């Protein structure tokens, strides 16, 4: 049985970048929640949001998490994909909580809210030579 999940929605509050010890090393993890909304078409063909949306907690790890922390903010429209895992934590009152967390393999930003992009040079082409045909 697969536990792979794909979801699209808006980030609910500012993502939090933390560094946690993993096997004796400090690793970056970006934590945020996404409201995965659901739309259907009306008889007139227009999109209408249903009440079937839900929240997903997301953990995004490593150097990509550090880069994502510079770009993502509350309200960002994203598509997240990865594996669902059962997580345990203590809430602010010290009570143990359980829930599903998406260990994200990738986070994609929706182009609908992008104003500008800055590209970094490809690692395999240090001279940054453009060999494209278009």
Asked whether residue 118 carries a pLDDT value surpassing 90, the answer given is no
Domain for residue 82, yes or no? Answer: yes
User: What pLDDT does 133 receive?
Assistant: 53
Per the CB < 8 A criterion, the answer to whether 127 and 89 are in contact is no
Domain for residue 36, yes or no? Answer: yes
Domain for residue 9, yes or no? Answer: yes
Domain for residue 124, yes or no? Answer: no
What are the distances in angstroms from CA 12 to CA 16, 31, 57, 128?
Answer: 12, 11, 10, 37
Confidence band of 129 (pLDDT split at 50, 70, 90): low
Asked whether residue 92 carries a pLDDT value surpassing 60, the answer given is yes
Give the chain's domain count.
1
Domain for residue 96, yes or no? Answer: yes
Rg (CA), the chain: 18
Q: What is the CATH number of the domain that holds 75?
A: 2.40.50.140
Identify the helix (H) or strand (E) that includes residue 71.
Answer: helix 63-71
Domain for residue 128, yes or no? Answer: no
User: What pLDDT does 45 receive?
Assistant: 81
Domain for residue 122, yes or no? Answer: no
- Structural domain range at position 103: 4-113
Per the CB < 8 A criterion, the answer to whether 34 and 11 are in contact is yes
What's the rounded mean pLDDT across residues 79-106?
Answer: 92
Cα angle for residues 79, 84, 89 (degrees, 5° grid) = 110
Mean pLDDT score across all residues of the chain: 87
Half-sphere exposure of 8 (CA within 13 A, CB side): 8
Model confidence pLDDT, tens digit, residues 30-80:
999 999 987 777 888 887 777 888 999 999 999 999 999 999 999 999 999
User: What pLDDT does 2 receive?
Assistant: 67
Distance CA 49, CA 9 (A): 12
User: What pLDDT does 77 receive?
Assistant: 93
Domain for residue 11, yes or no? Answer: yes
In terms of Cβ atoms closer than 10 Å to its own Cβ (0-12, 13-18, 19+), residue 34 is: buried
């Amino acid at each position: 049985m697969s536990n792979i999940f794909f979801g699209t929605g808006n980030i609910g509050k500012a993502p939090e970048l933390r560094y946690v010890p993993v096997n004796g090393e400090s690793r970056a993890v970006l934590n945020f929640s996404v409201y995965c909304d659901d739309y259907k078409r009306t008889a007139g063909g227009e999109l209408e949001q249903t009440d079937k949306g839900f929240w997903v907690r997301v953990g995004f790890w490593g150097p990509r998490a550090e880069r994502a922390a510079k770009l993502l903010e509350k309200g960002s429209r994203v598509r997240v994909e990865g594996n669902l895992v059962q997580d345990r934590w203590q809430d602010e009152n010290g009570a143990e909580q359980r829930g599903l967390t998406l260990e994200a393999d990738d986070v994609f930003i929706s182009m609908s809210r992008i104003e500008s992009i800055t590209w970094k040079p490809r690692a395999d082409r240090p001279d940054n030579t453009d060999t494209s045909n278009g």
